[in-house]
Amino acid sequence: MNALIESCSSFLKGHVSYAICGGFALEMFIGKTVRQHEDIDVSVFDCDRKSIVSLFMNAGWDIYFRPIRKVNHLEKIYNQDDSRLSDTNYIYAIQPNCDFFRVLPSIDDNGGFKYKMYGKQSSFNFLDIRFDRKEQGEFVCAKNTKRPMSKAILYNSDVPYLAPELVLFFKSLTQHEQYYREKSLLDFYVLTPHLSSESKYWLLEAIEKTGGREHVWAELLRGI
C-alpha cells in the first residue's frame, strides 16, 4: 500500500472515523496506480470536526481553511472552538515544516494568507480534509442523494476508503472547473469499467439529480 496512505491511516486510526477519498481511494479499489496525485485526501464526518482539529493541533500541526470564492487565500483556525470551523466543508492540516505546501506570510489584518504548492506530496506532512454527513446509517452525498454506509465506505486491508462511485460523484460536481476536468475525466474512464451494474446505476442517478440528464458524465454512463 502507498506509504502516504499507511502514514495517514496510522495517525488517524482510533481517534476519528475517516475514509481515504480522492484519487488514492480509486486506486485502493482497483489495486493499481492510475496517475500521480498532488496530495492525500480524507473524508471525516461532520460530527468529528472538533476532534480532528484537536488531534492535529495537539500534534503540532496548523489548521487552515479556504473561504469560498477567494483564490489563493487561506485563513487560520486557531482552536477547535473557532466559530469559522462550522462554516467550511474543507480544511487543510499542515505541519510547520511542510515542504510541499508552503503558507506565505500574512497578507492582511484579518489573518489571510497566500500559499504555494511545490510538485507533489512525498511525506505525511499535509492533509486535505473534507467534512461529510451521515444520517441513520447512510452517507449523505447531496440533497436527496445517499448511500448505505456498508456500500459507501469500503476497506483495503483495514484501511477505510470511499467507494469509487462516491468519489466519482464528487468529482462530477467539479467538471466545470478546468483545473479538475482532465484528471477527473481520466479517473472516470479508468474506473467505470470496474464498477458493478448497481454502482453504475447509483452513480448515474446521483449525477442526474445534481447535474441534470445533460451532464456529460451522465451521457457517458448511459452509453456504457
Q: Residues 169-202: pLDDT tens digits?
A: 999 998 766 666 788 899 999 999 999 999 999 9
Most confident among 70-74, 152-156, 181-185, 219-223 (mean pLDDT): 152-156
Q: First vs last Cα of the chain: how many Å apart? A: 30
SS (H, E, C) 141-208: EECCEEEEHHHHEEEECCEEEECHHHHHHHHHCCCCCHHHHHHHHHHHHHHHHHCCHHHHHHHHHHHH
pTM for this one? 0.92
Q: Residues 32-90: pLDDT tens digits?
A: 988 888 899 999 999 999 999 999 999 999 999 988 767 778 999 999 999 999 889 99
Q: What whole-number distance in Å separates Cα of residue 217 and Cα of residue 44?
A: 26
Cβ atoms 121, 38 nearer than 8 A: yes
pLDDT (0 to 100) of residue 72: 77
pLDDT (0 to 100) of residue 109: 62
Report in angstroms the alpha-carbon separations of 45 from 42, 122, 138, 175, 195.
10, 26, 12, 24, 25
